[in-house]
Amino acid sequence: MPRPRRAVAAAPDLSTRQRLLAAAAGEFAARGFAGASIDRIAAAAGLNKAMIYYHFASKKDLYGEILRDMFAAVSVRVKAAAASDRPPDEKVRQFVVAIATEAEARPHFPPIWFREIAEGGAHLDAETLRHVASVVGALRHIIEDGVRAGRFKPVNVFLVHAGIVGPLLLHFVASGALRKRLQKAGVPVAENTRDEVLEHIFGVALATLEGRTS
Amino acid sequence: MPRPRRAVAAAPDLSTRQRLLAAAAGEFAARGFAGASIDRIAAAAGLNKAMIYYHFASKKDLYGEILRDMFAAVSVRVKAAAASDRPPDEKVRQFVVAIATEAEARPHFPPIWFREIAEGGAHLDAETLRHVASVVGALRHIIEDGVRAGRFKPVNVFLVHAGIVGPLLLHFVASGALRKRLQKAGVPVAENTRDEVLEHIFGVALATLEGRTS
DNA sequence: GTCTATAAATAGATAGAC
DNA sequence: GTCTATCTATTTATAGAC
């Protein structure tokens, strides 16, 4: 049911804008920034490409908005995990769940993240970089709290971060087209449920932090 | 000092071909398949773009050769690890070292691998897919041997694989431009040596296989 | 807000001289 | 083997009608 009347005249049409953002996310995920086509994005949104330049300043700006949304969402959820009053191991679990939840909410997230890593973060603007930084920062706080509580060893943040994010993104990305391709090549791809994978990754991170991995 | 005379007339000029392959690897790593430009590859090799079509059938064919070289090299080294007569834990260490060694021998390897994962392996031909499959297969054999010897628990291959390859590639990629970008954003990027990272990843994999992570 | 038409640059690929 | 010149399609982006 449509709202009976527009509240204010100036408000931009969110529906069109978000259709463009959704179509763009799919295109950037499938082909990368340089390979994505403004024409294809517009067509996928059922619109004309002139509409993209009506709503966004440039292809780079459009891509930047998608990146900002992704990392802002992760940042918020991860900081909430770090700020919770649960014990250290539960915070680590929440950290893993935070990344998984936002990745699942955006199918384009894992592939775009992978590509952005491959490009050395070339398209991350200052604000997005702060969000990325705050994700690592939140994990560092979780570890430091655990160390203070006598539960964790002071393991390097980047090793823990890579041990969580690497396998997690790999799982989500490999659940798609790559899985089918590998199956056709004779690789017996196992059926891990989402919860099994999360529990495994959490268990590995906890073992690392509790000093059971060396 | 140039060789005094060409041995056989038909032999293709390997030097030029390999200059093109090296330049292409850099371009594909930096911009992805769709974003890479034949013109830029030729210019980076100090040659003309017509030379690319003299040595390769198409852009896709050129990219395919780079992918095949990468995964063939990893496959060979990983199968050697699986076939060695060392104890199970040493085979796991060799598996980690195998991936790291080939990644270090090719700076373009980690970014291209990440991008190919993001694209669902869209550019992997049948032969390259067999190489990828054999990497997972080798790890599966290592795990099965360890289980038979009573040293490992029967952990899912893909979980172990993701736990090794994810963090490893992340480390190599994040050692480049991304590290500098994050440092400028205020993230105190730690200085992990190559050996520390490898030892950590090996330790985590071993803990997983020995059932110390749950 | 949405469209068509178009500009201007660049893409992959080929022809043909040397 | 290596080059210049060129073909054709596609690219990002804009102008201007409605």
The predicted model gives A116-120 an average pLDDT of 93
Nucleic strand D within 7 A of Cβ B50: yes
**Contact of B109 with B130, CB cutoff 8 Å:** no
Query: Is the distance between the Cβ of A170 and the closest atom of strand D smaller than 7 Å?
Result: no
* B129 confidence band (pLDDT: 50, 70, 90): very high
Across chain B, mean pLDDT equals 92
A155-177 pLDDT per residue, tens: 999 999 999 999 999 999 988 88
Whether A188 has a pLDDT exceeding 80, the answer reads no
Q: Which alpha helices (DSSP H) does chain B contain, by range?
A: 14-35, 38-44, 49-55, 59-83, 88-105, 109-118, 126-148, 157-174, 177-184, 194-209
pLDDT category at A13 given cuts 50, 70, 90 is low
Q: Which helix (H) or strand (E) holds A99?
A: helix A88-105
Chain A: closest CA distance from residue B18 (Å):
23
Q: Quick check: A112 contacting B, CB < 8 Å?
A: yes
Q: pTM for the complete prediction? A: 0.93
Structure confidence at residue B189 as a pLDDT band (50, 70, 90): confident
> What does DSSP assign to residue A60?
H
Chain B residues 19-58 within 7 Å (CB) of strand C: 36-40, 49-50, 53, 58
Handedness of CA B173, B175, B177, B181 (dihedral sign): positive
- CB of residue A44 closer than 7 A to nucleic acid strand C? no
Which stretch of DSSP H or E encloses residue B10? none
Residue found under tokens 């490992």: B152
Residue nearest to nucleotide D15 (CA to C1'): A50
> Stretch B147-160: mean pLDDT, rounded?
97
The CA distance from B95 to the nearest CA of chain A, in Å, is 17
Of the residues B117, B156, B179, B206, the best mutation for testing chain A's interface (the one with the most A CB atoms within 10 Å of its CB) is B117
Residues B111 and A116: beta-carbon distance below 8 Å? no
B5-52 per-position pLDDT tens digit: 444 444 455 799 999 999 999 999 999 999 999 999 999 999 999 999
pLDDT of residue B191: 76
Percent of chain B, pLDDT > 90?
A: 84
Chain B contact for A105, CB < 8 A? no
Q: Which residue has the tokens 């259709």?
A: A19
pLDDT tens digits for range B69-111: 999 999 999 999 999 999 999 999 999 999 999 999 999 999 9
Burial label for A114, CB within 10 Å (0-12, 13-18, 19+), is buried
